[in-house]
Structure 1
């Protein structure tokens, strides 16, 4: 399974933010849209990611207040990225190594979407469920009289 398969099911809705936008405005967008991340774009290029992780660190550092922080001062300016052709197992490994919950998907420099760790986990579970159903159907349809027995060994 590839990232493109997740994006196809997930849809193409993207939420972005400008690096010079206030953190308070970005948080309002995240709360209104019930999303955990925003892609930071500048002149059509991805330059960072803003997630609740960066927001929490910033608020703690600012004494419990958002203050006058901008997205640029808080964002992760080196986010993990992948392509639509990246295998899900590779994405899972990358996200686990970096403790990343969100990953932008790029085709060259074009933003195609964002996948979350939840999206990846759901895709893996759905694949496993499908494989389990297929195996159960195969076992249920096993031809009569062809039961497998354990090989006999003699000592």
Structure 2
């Protein structure tokens, strides 16, 4: 399965923020839409990712106060990315190795969407469920040994008569 299939199922909604936006406004957007990340865009280009991880780390360092900080001051300015053609089997180890929950999907420098670890896990579960149903249908239609032997025995008996 490719990343483009996850994006197709997920839909085209993309949440972005400017790097010069106040961090408090970005957090309000994340809370309003119940999302864990915002793609940080400047001049039509992805320049970073803001996730709840950066927000929580900032709150911990600043005694629970975001103050006048901007998104640029706390964002991940080198997020790992993938393309729509990246195979899911490549994405999973990348996300695990880099301990990332959100991955921007770029196609020739154009942001196509952001996939989450949840999106990846859901796709894997759905793929395995589909394979399980196919295997169960195959096994259910498997001829038993006695039924398979009857036509051969009947043919042998008919040939001897």
Aligned pair 1:130/2:116, yes or no?
Answer: no
Q: Partner of 2:156 in structure 1? A: none
Give the secondary-structure state (helix, strand or coil) at the position aligned to 2:20: coil
Counterpart CA distance in 1 for 2:60 and 2:140 is 57
Counterpart CA distance in 2 for 1:69 and 1:26 is 11
Q: Which has the larger radius of gyration?
A: 2
More helix per residue: 1 or 2? 2
Q: Which runs of 5+ in 2 are unaligned?
A: 150-161
Alignment TM-score, normalising by the size of structure 1:
0.93
Alignment TM-score, normalising by the size of structure 2:
0.89
Q: Partner of 1:77 in structure 2? A: 77
Give the secondary-structure state (helix, strand or coil) at the position aligned to 1:47: strand
Counterpart CA distance in 2 for 1:39 and 1:137 is 43
Q: How many residues align?
A: 147
Q: Partner of 1:26 in structure 2? A: 26
Q: Which runs of 5+ in 1 are unaligned?
A: 148-155
Counterpart CA distance in 2 for 1:101 and 1:113 is 14
Give the secondary-structure state (helix, strand or coil) at the position aligned to 2:111: strand
User: How far is 1:143 from its partner?
Assistant: 1.9
Counterpart CA distance in 1 for 2:60 and 2:66 is 9
Spell out the pairing of 1:83-94 with structure 2 (5 A cutoff). 83-94=83-94
User: How far is 1:59 from its partner?
Assistant: 1.1
